[in-house]
Amino acid sequence: MSFARRWFWAWLFGLPVLALTIWGIADNQRLFLVTALNGLTLAALYFLVASGFTLVFGLLRNVNLAHGSLYLLGAYVGWVAGEYLGSWFLAVAAGFLFAALMGLLLQIGVFRFMHGQDLRQTMATIALSIIAADVALWVWGGEIYQFDPPRWIIGATALPIVGKFPTYRLVLLAMAIVIGLALWWFLARTRVGMMIRAGVDDRAMLSASGIDVQMVFAITFAIGAGLAGFAGVVGGTALSIAPGEDTRYLLASLVVVIVGGMGSVAGAALGAVLVGVAEQFGLAYAPTYGIVFSFVIMALVLAFRPQGILGRRA
């Protein structure tokens, strides 16, 4: 893409967005900022779910369509743990550990046997997600579950201009940033992270240099799944958990990683921000058509940059 053409596109999309932003601030400063903040905090949640999804895809080339089920099961198990242990923090830990364990079992028990067979993996993960959804409905029923986090976390915080804003959403944003940085550090600075990155680039070579590839796969899958379970508890606290959340977050993760670029953690962050912000502005300024915006973004990305904004050509 030439320099001039790149700027042409930047102008084409940038100018209207800029104009709308100026109008939005001039029209109602508070609403605009609240919406932006809501968008960022929703993006934080999307990032938590999608980062695990994209991590698994990047290394294993495996579109895990049971990722949403890991989110939901992690949330339910976290809820049960929270109810019995009486601590929300233990609930978060339980959600992460349970989903990570499930991920490990999935990798060792299922995906190891169908490496590189895309269609078979897809069918298997769809099947697993349907089974998981029915098992969850059987065990936990159709009721709506809500977590009971510590008092200080669920109140409202006064911010300049914005006024009262839910403390929890700010906590959520901070958590996503911390996790994003931790993931970056893990991938860029640790030995296992190096192996994962090497595996993303060239699996055969990594294996040839004497690394136990299956172990790297298992670790990656466990972390990716654990992040989904973690997001389940954290997201379930911000909103609620109920049957159907699995497909909702699977769809959200898919849109996020398609926009951001499959396999890129930074891409997942960028995609999450775009989708989250678009969704919230849609809800605030055009409630009826809000849901369309994230799909418009996806369609545009697919049309002009099919590998995703930060993705590499396969």
Partner 1 sequence: MNERRGMLIGLLSTAALGVVFAGGAQAQETVKIGLLATLEGPFAAGGQDGMRGAELAVKERGGMVAGKKIEIIKASSDAKPDVAVNATRKLVEQDKVQIMVGPLSGSEGIAVKDYSKSQPGITFINGSSGAQATTLVNPSPNFFRFNTEGAQWMVGLGDYVLNDKKYKKMALIAEDYAFPYSQVQGFMAGYCKAGGKVTHKAWVPLGGKDYSSVIAKLPTDVDALLVVLGGADAVNFLTQYEQNGGDKPMVGGSITVDQTVLNFKGKRRESLLGTPAAGPMADSIDTPAWKKFVADYKANFKDGFPSPSLFAFVYYINMKAALDGLEAVKGDLSGGQEKYREALKNLKLQTPVGEITLDENRQAIGPTFITEVAKGADGTFYNKVVKTNASVNQRLNLPKEEFDKMGLGSRDVPSCP
* Residues engaged in binding partner 1 (CB under 8 A): 30-31, 34-35, 38-39, 41-42, 79, 113, 133, 137, 141-148, 154-156, 163-169, 239-240, 242-244, 248, 279-281, 283-284, 287-288, 290-291
User: What are 127's two structure tokens?
Assistant: 């099947």
Least separation, in Å, of the C-beta of 238 and partner 1? 8
Least separation, in Å, of the C-beta of 121 and partner 1? 15
Least separation, in Å, of the C-beta of 196 and partner 1? 27
What is the Cα–Cα distance from 286 to 263, expressed in whole angstroms?
A: 32
Name the residue nearer to partner 1 (CB basis): 144 or 177: 144
Name the residue nearer to partner 1 (CB basis): 86 or 306: 86
Least separation, in Å, of the C-beta of 232 and partner 1? 14
Orientation of helix 29-60 relative to helix 67-85, angle to 10°: 110
Least separation, in Å, of the C-beta of 150 and partner 1? 12
Least separation, in Å, of the C-beta of 221 and partner 1? 20
CB atoms within 10 A of CB 284: 18
Name the residue nearer to partner 1 (CB basis): 137 or 299: 137
What is the Cα–Cα distance from 224 to 233, expressed in whole angstroms?
A: 15
Q: Is 157 helix (H, G, I), strand (E, B) or coil?
A: strand
Long-range (24+ apart) CB contacts under 8 A made by 248-252 are 248/68, 249/49, 249/67, 249/68, 249/71, 249/72, 250/65, 250/67, 250/68, 250/69, 250/71, 250/129, 251/68, 252/46, 252/49, 252/50
Name the residue nearer to partner 1 (CB basis): 236 or 267: 236
DSSP characters for 61-109? Answer: ----TTHHHHHHHHHHHHHHHHHHH--HHHHHHHHHHHHHHHHHHHHHH
Name the residue nearer to partner 1 (CB basis): 261 or 276: 276
Name the residue nearer to partner 1 (CB basis): 6 or 120: 120
